[in-house]
């Protein structure tokens, strides 16, 4: 709550300094908080049914409302595809968490098949990113069952998120070798890279306070040329750097690190915690190169999955494995 409160307070501060529009940031903070609270409650009451219902709800929402937001639709590759991939990734993570919490082997297999079906859904919807991230979450979930030390897995997830963010920053600053930069630009599109250049330029203009929440579209010439314009740089860390300065970036990193720390200390079994961490890390990677966090459904889903994976179930869960016991002892040993 302290981290989320600081995010909301800083957005108001930078908005007051530059006549910005903090509504989007405040809505995102509220969505994450609401999702997290709901996840803690339902995860305690229904440790298997709740994540399963969340996975089905995420898939249903993606299929029934493919654009995920009202108003003018942004054409590919800068449109709703990132949000689709993010929501399906969170759904796959929730299904895998439910599988690890399930007491019966048959139910466990059924829930893993649900996660595989979500991956197929991503392919049917044409979301290549969704296929990659859902597959990665499924494989990480299977590997999590063999992890003896939860901390090493959490550290690996933090490193992966840092590498993706660093690569995004390097592309925005033209700090990569020409061959690699050209290859990445072909994948990301030149328009997206130009948006990142503008965001980094604005971040240098206002290192401390940024240019104000919601003002990137007003000051970026590349964003103004989009059809129709959406006023976003399509990268969460670069958007915060441009609009809220480096303090905004630090607060975003603090929120992600707090989630990983909460998963490390979670009373849930290690496979559940690491599976949720893998899904949230995949979301962080998607958000680093897209505008997935601009969609309320994604923010709610991220908070919900984090809450489910850190809840304290009121009912007995399956007996922990030897790896779980050893990992718990390692965390409790001074």
- pLDDT tens track for 297-320: 999 999 999 999 999 988 766 655
Please count the residues of the chain: 334
- Quick one: pLDDT band at residue 280, thresholds 50, 70, 90? very high
CA distance 322 to 280: 26
- Quick one: pLDDT band at residue 289, thresholds 50, 70, 90? very high
Cis peptide before 306 (omega within 30 of 0): no
Please answer whether residues 281 and 157 qualify as being in contact, where contact means their C-beta atoms are separated by less than 8 angstroms: yes
CA angle 20, 18, 12 (to 5 degrees): 55
What pLDDT, on the 0 to 100 scale, is given for residue 276? 97
What is the number of structural domains in the chain? 1
Question: What is the DSSP code string of 199-254?
Answer: HHHHHHHTTTT-S-TT-HHHH-HHHHTSSS-----S-HHHHHHHHHHHHHHHHHHH
What pLDDT, on the 0 to 100 scale, is given for residue 71? 39
- Quick one: pLDDT band at residue 76, thresholds 50, 70, 90? very low
- Return the closest-CA partner of residue 309 out of 257, 267, 253: 267
What pLDDT, on the 0 to 100 scale, is given for residue 70? 41
What pLDDT, on the 0 to 100 scale, is given for residue 81? 65
CA torsion through residues 28, 34, 39, 40, sign = positive
What pLDDT, on the 0 to 100 scale, is given for residue 78? 36
What are the tens digits of pLDDT across the range 19-62?
A: 889 999 999 999 999 999 999 999 999 999 999 999 999 999 88
CA distance 79 to 102: 36
What pLDDT, on the 0 to 100 scale, is given for residue 267? 93
Please answer whether residues 50 and 43 qualify as being in contact, where contact means their C-beta atoms are separated by less than 8 angstroms: yes
User: What is the rounded average pLDDT of the residues 88-111?
Assistant: 95
Task: Please tell me the least confidently modeled range out of 5-9, 285-289, 309-313, 315-319.
Answer: 315-319
What pLDDT, on the 0 to 100 scale, is given for residue 75? 38
In the predicted model, is pLDDT for residue 228 greater than 70?
A: no
In the predicted model, is pLDDT for residue 11 greater than 60?
A: yes
Domain assignment of residue 53, given as a range:
2-332
Q: Provide the 10 A C-beta neighbour count for residue 71.
A: 8
Please answer whether residues 304 and 54 qualify as being in contact, where contact means their C-beta atoms are separated by less than 8 angstroms: yes
Computed over every residue of the chain, the mean pLDDT equals: 87
């Amino acid at each position: 709550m302290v981290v989320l409160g600081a995010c909301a307070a800083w957005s108001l501060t930078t908005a007051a300094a530059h006549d910005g529009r903090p509504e989007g940031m405040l809505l995102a903070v509220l969505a994450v908080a609401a999702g997290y609270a709901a996840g803690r409650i339902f995860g305690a009451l229904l440790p298997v049914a709740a994540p399963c219902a969340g996975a089905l709800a995420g898939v249903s929402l993606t299929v029934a409302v493919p654009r995920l937001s009202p108003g003018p639709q942004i054409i590919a590759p800068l449109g709703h595809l990132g949000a689709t991939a993010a929501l399906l990734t969170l759904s796959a993570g929730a299904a895998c968490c439910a599988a690890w919490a399930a007491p019966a082997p048959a139910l466990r297999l059924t829930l893993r098949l649900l996660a595989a079906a979500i991956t197929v859904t991503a392919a049917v919807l044409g979301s290549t990113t969704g296929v990659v991230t859902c597959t990665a979450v499924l494989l990480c979930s299977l590997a999590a069952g063999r992890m003896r030390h939860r901390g090493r897995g959490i550290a690996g997830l933090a490193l992966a998120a840092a590498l993706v963010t660093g690569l995004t920053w390097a592309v925005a600053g033209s700090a990569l070798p020409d061959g690699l930069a050209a290859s990445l630009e072909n994948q990301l599109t030149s328009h997206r890279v130009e948006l990142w250049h503008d965001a980094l330029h604005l971040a240098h203009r206002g290192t401390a306070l940024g240019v104000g929440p919601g003002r990137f579209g007003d000051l970026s010439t590349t964003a103004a040329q989009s059809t129709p314009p959406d006023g976003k740089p399509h990268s969460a860390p670069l958007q915060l750097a441009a609009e809220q300065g480096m303090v905004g970036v630090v607060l975003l990193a603090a929120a992600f690190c707090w989630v990983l720390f909460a998963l490390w200390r979670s009373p849930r079994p290690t496979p559940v915690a690491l599976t949720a961490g893998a899904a949230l890390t995949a979301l962080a990677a998607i958000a680093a190169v897209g505008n997935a966090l601009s969609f309320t459904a994604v923010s709610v889903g991220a908070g919900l999955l984090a809450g489910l994976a850190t809840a304290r179930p009121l009912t007995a869960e399956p007996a922990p494995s030897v790896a779980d016991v050893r990992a718990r002892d390692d965390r409790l040993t001074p």
